[in-house]
Structure 1
Amino acid sequence: MKLNEGFLDSMKEAFALFRSNDPAAAAEIVKRAMRGERTDAAVAQADPHDDTTTTRLADLLQPRRNVHTRQTEGDVQDCGHFSLRRYADAAGQRDYKVYVPGQYRSDPLPLIVMLHGCTQDADDFAAGTRMNALAETHGFIVAYPTQPQGANQSKCWNWFRPADQQRDRGEPSLIAGITREVMANYNVDPKRVFVAGLSAGGAMAAIVAQTYPDLYAAAGIHSGLPVGCAHDLPSALAAMRGGKAKSKARNPVRADIHHAQAPQCPLIVFHGDADATVHPANANELIREFSASETSPARASSGDSRARKHTVRHMTSRAGVDAELWIIHGAPHAWAGGSSSGSYTDPSGPDASAEMVRFFLEHPRRP
């Protein structure tokens, strides 16, 4: 099914309302356009279940590229091996890149799976997060699954689709399969396998961590969204603005995932409180199951004098699972402390990559 120009004009109108803090009006235009009703822009002819419609709409939801305000100091040079691979299973196929540090010999190493944000790819995300340099310093392997444009027009992970929110289905199956393939090809410590992501990649990291607690020991979520908070594009718009689904009954995937298990995977969450793309309320929702048993009060910290001020909370769930929430004051929708050689980074810090690695290495998977 081919989208006409009038439908895209309607979506642009909806996105403009979304950007101007009128999510209700934006969602109404999306719903009317999907039903084929006339909007102020045109007559819509889109099928809401059509994959092309979904990817085109997602294109309108991609975050705006941030302008870097300053260059970072020289990064540690990676001296390992960065190779391109391809994985396929019943859900489809995905390319991915693997970084193996120069110190890799025979001892089992940790593995961190990195899920990029919209419009990014493995090379861009590796450059922006500097995770390969940290792999050299700390001795771990990094895998970067890549979302192709054929799966989503903006190369976003499809975190808002029910078919991609479940174990052994869709994109979670592909990401878990890539993880297992890297574990089979290299000497990886199965107790120290982790997943992290930015924005749409952060939302997908939350999904795979929740659906595969037997595979991932901990997760890092930067500027992401909680599991099952959306089941289509209108609800995705609402979630990105900080709203919640009107009824869990309308989203059986969320209800099934949420009630099937308490949090089993330690989480470290980063979010800028000036994020205009994904509302910071999503960070609080991600750690909601931990907040009832907070182990230490929130504290303000500036850390490095060049870093943005931030507040860090340390929590533990009733089951004894740890979580950290980092709210970075004045930060936009970007990877904190990243390198300006990659997109969607905020070089001023704090260093989200280093803190994630620290948190991961402190949390091997429990028996």
Structure 2
Amino acid sequence: MLPPFLPRLAVLLTLALPTAAPALERISAFGDNPGDLAMWIHRPEGHEGATPLVVALHGCTMSAESFDDETGLTALADAQGLMLLFPEQTEENQPRKCFRWYDEADNRPGDGESASIRNMIDHLLDSEDIDRSQIFVMGLSAGGAMSAALMANYPDLFAGGAIVAGLPYDCNRPRSFFTYAVWQYWRMMRHVQGGTYDGWDASYACGIIPPNTAVDRAPDDWARYVAELHDSAPAGWPRVSIWQGEEDETVDPDNLEELADQWTALHGLDPEAPDAEEMIAGATRKRYLDTRGVIQVETWDLPTLPHAVPVDEDGAPACGIADGAYMEEGEICAVREIARFWGLL
């Protein structure tokens, strides 16, 4: 039989042991929150002075914490001195926890979720030492589509962005009267059958299953959808890194080309004429340069990647968790390559 003091001693020793601080901190009050999103941040350890800010948007069914853990963002932020902001969707807003990139009530400047995320950024600009010239946004899937929406909404705010398995801004505009009629019929039938409609069905026109066929529009049309949000052209458009796997069975891989069309056209570049093309670990990277020789748009085409963020779990340094949801070992660390493209490494 154990002496009676040992259990108490064990409890005291446990309480005395240092505990690891949580990677993410919840910020409950950050101003108006019309999109009803949650806000999480990570402050880099051991860095002083103004830091760049990276806004990271998770994919459907994910949380801020899981997206952070599985991509390796916190490790990168601590190594490079980056403040991280993780907006988080709720099941009350969207049953699959997808950001509402498809809804005009959430993807226009100053409205809904777009406004909530903007207010999170403004809160950090007021409360933290953030380098205002280095604010970036990245996301996966619905988070990638919302990243495109945020850059379209607030081009003067973001220096750059990254879209992984995402979609062009406003891709769910009806392709034609016929497809619009089919979509409306689909909505009606879902209602009759007792299903719910929250706008997600609008993805019909964007190359998401169903029917998983990307809409093919002219680059100038794609660019117009963004430009018409603003009374005048911004001082400059964000620099954009676009990633897509050819084995993606959720988002039509042809959206890589449509996204490239949209953002090269905004930058006044020819989407058919990349200035550089190379192979990296089986992926094809294309780069589009402006007249100063600055890369404004890059695309990564990964032939064996499914609907996922490529990670390099065995790399040096290691990056991400290969068996995480929507993560895939690809011998390429997407978050590091994106940070390199932004000039943060």
Q: Does TM-score exceed 0.5, indicating one fold? A: yes
The answer (yes or no) to whether the contact 1:161–1:230 under 8 Å persists in 2 is no
Task: Specify the alignment match of 1:313 in structure 2.
Answer: 286
| Counterpart Cα distance in 2 of 1:246 and 1:354 | 31
* Structure 1 letter corresponding to 2:228: D
What is the count of residue pairs matched by the alignment? 277
Q: Among 109, 133, 137, which residue is 1:167 paired with? A: 109
Task: Specify the alignment match of 1:296 in structure 2.
Answer: 275
CA offset at residue 318 of structure 1? 7.3
Change (3 A) 1:274 1:108: same
Q: Give the alignment of 1:1-367 within 5 angstroms.
A: 82-86=24-28, 87-89=30-32, 91-105=34-48, 107-231=49-173, 232-240=199-207, 241-244=212-215, 256-257=228-229, 261=233, 264-288=237-261, 289-290=263-264, 292=270, 294-302=273-281, 309-316=282-289, 322-337=296-311, 338-340=320-322, 342-361=324-343
Change (3 A) 1:349 1:164: farther
CA offset at residue 360 of structure 1? 1.7
Larger CA deviation: 88-97 vs 149-158 = 88-97
Change (3 A) 1:282 1:153: same
- Per-residue CA deviations over 1:63-116 (Å, capped at 9, x if unaligned) read xxxxxxxxxxxxxxx9885311123416243222111111133x1011100000
CA offset at residue 285 of structure 1? 1.2
Larger CA deviation: 311-320 vs 149-158 = 311-320
| Counterpart Cα distance in 1 of 2:60 and 2:251 | 13
CA offset at residue 255 of structure 1? 7.7
* Structure 1 letter corresponding to 2:138: A
Q: Which has the larger radius of gyration?
A: 2
* Structure 1 letter corresponding to 2:325: S
* Counterpart secondary structure, 1:357: helix
| Counterpart Cα distance in 2 of 1:171 and 1:235 | 17
| Counterpart Cα distance in 2 of 1:149 and 1:128 | 21
TM-score (norm 1): 0.68
| Counterpart Cα distance in 2 of 1:283 and 1:128 | 23
Task: Specify the alignment match of 1:32 in structure 2.
Answer: none
Unaligned ranges ≥5, structure 2: 1-19, 174-198, 312-319
How many percent identity over aligned positions? 27
| Counterpart Cα distance in 2 of 1:121 and 1:187 | 26
CA offset at residue 233 of structure 1? 4.4
* Structure 2 letter corresponding to 1:301: I
TM-score (norm 2): 0.72
CA offset at residue 295 of structure 1? 4.9
| Counterpart Cα distance in 1 of 2:216 and 2:304 | 27
CA offset at residue 261 of structure 1? 4.5
The answer (yes or no) to whether the contact 2:277–2:286 under 8 Å persists in 1 is yes
Larger CA deviation: 325-334 vs 339-348 = 339-348
CA-atom RMSD in angstroms: 2.9
